Amino acid sequence: MRQFPVFLDLAGRVALVLGSGGVAARKAEPLRRAGATIRAAARFAPALLDGVAIAIGADAPEADLAALSAACMARGIPVNVVDRPALCSFLMPAIVDRDPVTIAIGTGGAAPALARMVRQRIEAVLPPGLGRLAALAGRFKAAVRRALPDLPARRRFLDDVLAGPVAELAMAGSTAAAEAAFARALHAADAAPPGIVHLVGAGPGAADLLTLRAQRLLGEADVIVHDRLVSPAVLDMARRDAERIFVGKARANHCMPQAEINALLVRLAREGRRVVRLKGGDPFVFGRGGEEASALAEAGIAHAVVPGVTAALACAAEAGIPLTHRDAARMVTFATGHTREGRLDLDFAALARPGQTLAVYMGLATLGALQAGLVGAGLDPATPAAIVENGGADRPRLLHGTLASVAAAGPGWSSGRPALVLVGEVVGLGAGTVRAMAGMAA
Ligand SMILES: C[S@@+](CC[C@H](N)C(=O)[O-])C[C@H]1O[C@@H](n2cnc3c(N)ncnc32)[C@H](O)[C@@H]1O
């Protein structure tokens, strides 16, 4: 290791930034974020260094930069002159800032572009709420030391708490709940940690449409409870040794009853396990996520919801259909085509009003009734409509036409995979072009 990294406390101290251009301003920014008072000057004079803790030079005449470097070195003030390694006593790292967690990356000046690349990768995998977790641990530091004076026991406790449900609550911004859970965990430090259930949206199927939070939780979960709409590509992101429990079969319509799924989630959490309840799309959009969240709340189980890309958004993007448009739709409605007591129970008068887009989930089996209801309420059967099958997933397909033509052809066209019906003027906007662009099969 050629250079030794340190973290400098600049709060309330003076940082000299010599130079008047954009580079100097950019270099000043992280110093300001670290609490330094910036002393900016266009030209160098030795008196500028009085009381200075650190100095940066950029965008100044060459002679001034050399004088700055020499004077700093003589007075033992750390100095960095941008792009002049010979004039530097320290190098500026690429920084990942999850205050108070700070990661500095350096390449000894050999490849700053590589340092930036490493930073981007770290940015992508580190949860944005990591700082909140560190702050929580900081607030409990003294209490943890008092409660667990034995170092190995303290380490074990912190390892569990920083990777478990408490951490999830803290990183999600549920500060009060995280503090309460931390205090409980500390109180029962010898007991097993409490379990947690995350209701996680798996998105429409493509693994790269998963949120970063969902990906991280999948990597941490002890057990994954999933249903049929979750694609194998998404499931593959779970820990290899995580238990996988499948709770639904499509074809035979043989699903575990909802009450049993609720009871299963409660039981697994009570065993102290980190449970991911993985649901296609978004858990709170036609996904019974609300019922599961209520059951968990009633049982006093810690839980949190992680949103996912819902089918309407994925299908619209796939087919190039804007769900809203200033000229064609100022409103969008998500409806279900699922029947209640054999009847399509929708407010057709509201759905047939002009200037809106209708996205119907589970609508293929009742397409005829949907069309009849909308037309009966006054919607023109020539209104543009589309069916998108497997949007945002493997081999998507698009059937494009009018409400009347799509209703007539849809059932025969369907391959049986999940499909969404879109109705409204927006469907006519550029769908053909996009279909050609995306190479979607008809
Ligand atoms: C029980 S709902 C679940 C919806 C899910 N929670 C969501 O937010 O997308 C299942 C219905 O969603 C729609 N769907 C789900 N994934 C889809 C996809 N990839 N392409 C088209 N429609 C999809 C279909 O209408 C399917 O019958």
Classify the phi-psi angles of 50: left when phi > 0, otherwise alpha if psi is within -120 to 50, otherwise beta: beta
Where residue 190 falls among pLDDT bands split at 50, 70, 90?
low
Q: How many residues does the chain have?
A: 442
What are the φ/ψ torsions at residue 107 (nearest 5 degrees)? -125, 25
Q: Report the catalytic residues.
A: 227, 249
* pLDDT of 205 higher than 60: yes
CB atoms within 10 A of CB 95: 14
What are the φ/ψ torsions at residue 281 (nearest 5 degrees)? 65, -125
The pLDDT value given to residue 193: 55
User: From CA 166, how far away is CA 176, in angstroms rounded?
Assistant: 11
Query: Do 67 and 44 touch, CB atoms closer than 8 A?
Result: yes
Q: Is 387 exposed, middle or buried (0-12, 13-18, 19+ CB in 10 A)?
A: buried
The pLDDT value given to residue 375: 98
Which CATH code is given to the segment(s) 195-309? 3.40.1010.10
The pLDDT value given to residue 163: 84
Number of helices and strands (H, E) in the chain? 16, 16
CA 324, 358, 287, 232 dihedral sign is negative
DSSP for 273-298 reads -EEEEEESB-TTSSSSHHHHHHHHHH
The pLDDT value given to residue 433: 46
Top-level class of domain 312-438:
alpha beta
Model confidence over 157-166: pLDDT tens digits? 888 888 888 9
Strand order in the sheet with 196-201: 243-246, 223-226, 274-279, 196-201, 302-306
| Bond from prior residue into 232 cis (ω within 30 degrees of 0) | no
The residue extents of the domains of the chain are 14-92, 127-193, 195-309, 312-438
Model confidence over 41-70: pLDDT tens digits? 999 999 999 999 999 999 899 999 999 999
286 lines ligand 1 (CB under 6 A): yes
Q: Is the model more confident about 196 or about 404? A: 404
* pLDDT of 80 higher than 80: yes
Please choose from 420, 421, 422, 440 the residue to mutate so as to test ligand 1's pocket, defined by most ligand atoms within 8 A of CB.
Answer: 420
Distance from the alpha carbon of residue 72 to the mean position of ligand 1, in angstroms:
64
202 lines ligand 1 (CB under 6 A): no
Q: Tell the CATH superfamily of the 14-92 domain.
A: NAD(P)-binding Rossmann-like Domain (3.40.50.720)
